[in-house]
Homo-oligomer: A and B are copies of this chain.
Amino acid sequence: MTTTVEPIAVPGVSTDSGVTTPAGFRASGIASGIKDSGALDLALVVNDGPKQDAAGVFTRNLVKAAPVLWSQQVLTERRLRAVVLNSGGANAATGPEGFQDTHATAEKVAEALTSDEQEVGAIEVAVCSTGLIGERLPMDALLPGVDTATSALSSSPESALHAATAVMTTDSRPKQANASHPGGWSVGGFAKGAGMLAPNLATMLSVITTDAALSGEALDTALRAATKATFDRLDVDGGTSTNDTVLLLASGASGVTPSLDDFISTLTDVSMSLVRQLQADSEGVTKLVDITVTGAASDGDAVRIGRTVAEDNLVKTALFGSDPNWGRVAMAVGRSDARVDPSMLSITINDVPLLADGVPAQDRSTVDLSGPHVEIAIGVGDGDHAATIYTTDLSHGYVEENSAYSS
């Protein structure tokens, strides 16, 4: 259970700092007392501009947490001055009073950031929460904590680390990434989550910053393109939490407006690094599993097949046991609701072809699954659409962490 799995590195991306790498941003992470343990639990990220363009993507779960409902509303303006994030409580399924708590938090941050030079409104403040679903937040700790977090704001790498740490729940380590483009701008960010549907205390949250100068529309396009290939392809246990949120804030402080393609490329790299870190820190993980589907009839079918295999408990437990039981992969493909012709199906694990055009190929005993990396390639032979899903195995550690025996 205590084995550490190292994340797969993304070329060109550093993991030593995050949201304060781009110019124009300050961050902080403090202990407000939401968590009884006294651990960091409140993070603040502030965009000092000169621009405050922003974009966000949110969970598709219909039971959305109060902070998601609030931040979606705020983001319709595609402009953010600040993001406040707390761990220790998801503020989901908390009814109208929970929404009022989120609103009060945004109001408090706006008030704390308002000075002689600037007037900040609550409508410029996104809110993210993560933790147990169905319980109200201790506002008597949270609201004073906003003042403490505001005082602690700084553009240092340490502050970025504190922010990345303050959003952790069952995460064993903070997750940051940053990349600098030769064109004179950079992207940085942090993420938390011990799974896509983050096990135990729910939620995948990420805040990404850039000092590139881009409009809200361009940021929205870039964020959707990047998340589609990264965060949306991470699937540890099939879930989509009530609080999943990825926010992108642009300060324009570099004075450079990159091409949209360049920006999407760097943003995707940073997002991918965060996804690799989430994958490697998911609860109970012992294997990092990439499932690549090719030859599908549509993008939707490629993703559907990859997700069904990624979520299949029999495939996942076999991988935990280092057993290349490709029959379970075939079974999962067949039940995926995607268009599949069994006589065209091929399955390869760690480069060993096991099923070729519907007929068994090499013996499964020739597959080496002793290492932490597993690549499952599924050929559908029915089109030219492809997708890769990033997942993990299902281990005793996962059951232990999520069965409350450990808490």
- Residue in chain B with minimal CB distance to A237: B313
Q: Let me know if A327 and B239 touch, CB within 8 A.
A: no
- With the chains together, A385 CA to B95 CA distance in Å? 25
Q: Is A216 located at the chain interface by the 8 A CB criterion?
A: no
Please, could you name 20 A-B residue pairs with CB atoms under 8 Å apart, sorted by A?
A: A61-B334, A63-B333, A92-B331, A94-B360, A133-B325, A133-B328, A134-B326, A134-B364, A197-B314, A199-B313, A202-B327, A202-B328, A238-B312, A239-B313, A241-B331, A242-B327, A313-B313, A317-B398, A395-B403, A399-B399
Nearest Cβ distance between residue A338 and chain B, in whole angstroms?
8
Q: Let me know if B399 and A314 touch, CB within 8 A.
A: no
Q: Is A373 located at the chain interface by the 8 A CB criterion?
A: no
When distances are taken between beta carbons in the complex, the residues of chain B under 8 Å from A133 are 325, 327-328, 330-331
Q: Is A352 located at the chain interface by the 8 A CB criterion?
A: no
Q: Let me know if A317 and B360 touch, CB within 8 A.
A: no
Instruction: Mark A residues whose CB is within 8 Å of B.
Output: 60-64, 90, 92-96, 132-136, 197, 199-200, 202, 237-242, 311-314, 317-318, 320-323, 325-328, 330-335, 340, 342-343, 345, 354-355, 358-360, 364, 394-396, 398-400, 402-405
Given A240-B335, A360-B95, A402-B314: A63 touches B199 (CB 8 Å cut-off)? no
When distances are taken between beta carbons in the complex, the residues of chain B under 8 Å from A400 are 396
Q: Give chain A's interface secondary structure class.
A: loop
20 additional A-B residue pairs with CB within 8 Å, beyond A63-B330, A92-B330: A61-B335, A62-B334, A63-B334, A63-B335, A93-B358, A95-B359, A133-B331, A135-B327, A197-B335, A200-B314, A202-B328, A202-B331, A239-B313, A317-B398, A318-B403, A321-B402, A321-B403, A323-B403, A394-B399, A398-B399
When distances are taken between beta carbons in the complex, the residues of chain B under 8 Å from A399 are 317, 320, 394-396, 398-399
Q: Let me know if A242 and B403 touch, CB within 8 A.
A: no
B63, B331, B364, B402: the one within 8 Å of A331 (CB): B63
Q: Let me know if B313 and A60 touch, CB within 8 A.
A: no
When distances are taken between beta carbons in the complex, the residues of chain B under 8 Å from A240 are 335
Q: Let me know if A327 and B134 touch, CB within 8 A.
A: yes
Q: Let me know if B402 and A318 touch, CB within 8 A.
A: yes
- With the chains together, A395 CA to B317 CA distance in Å? 12
When distances are taken between beta carbons in the complex, the residues of chain B under 8 Å from A314 are 197, 199-200, 237, 239, 402
- With the chains together, A314 CA to B132 CA distance in Å? 12
Nearest Cβ distance between residue A288 and chain B, in whole angstroms?
17
B200, B320, B331, B405: the one within 8 Å of A239 (CB): B331
Nearest Cβ distance between residue A126 and chain B, in whole angstroms?
20
Q: Let me know if B317 and A402 touch, CB within 8 A.
A: yes
Q: Let me know if B402 and A313 touch, CB within 8 A.
A: yes
Nearest Cβ distance between residue A91 and chain B, in whole angstroms?
11
Given A314-B402, A395-B399: A64 touches B334 (CB 8 Å cut-off)? yes
When distances are taken between beta carbons in the complex, the residues of chain B under 8 Å from A326 are 134
- Residue in chain B with minimal CB distance to A90: B327
When distances are taken between beta carbons in the complex, the residues of chain B under 8 Å from A197 are 314, 331, 335
When distances are taken between beta carbons in the complex, the residues of chain B under 8 Å from A343 are 95
Nearest Cβ distance between residue A268 and chain B, in whole angstroms?
25
B62, B64, B396: the one within 8 Å of A396 (CB): B396
- Residue in chain B with minimal CB distance to A336: B62
- Residue in chain B with minimal CB distance to A325: B404
Nearest Cβ distance between residue A372 and chain B, in whole angstroms?
15
When distances are taken between beta carbons in the complex, the residues of chain B under 8 Å from A330 are 63, 92-93, 133-134, 242
- With the chains together, A404 CA to B393 CA distance in Å? 13
Nearest Cβ distance between residue A189 and chain B, in whole angstroms?
25
Nearest Cβ distance between residue A194 and chain B, in whole angstroms?
11
Q: Let me know if B331 and A394 touch, CB within 8 A.
A: no
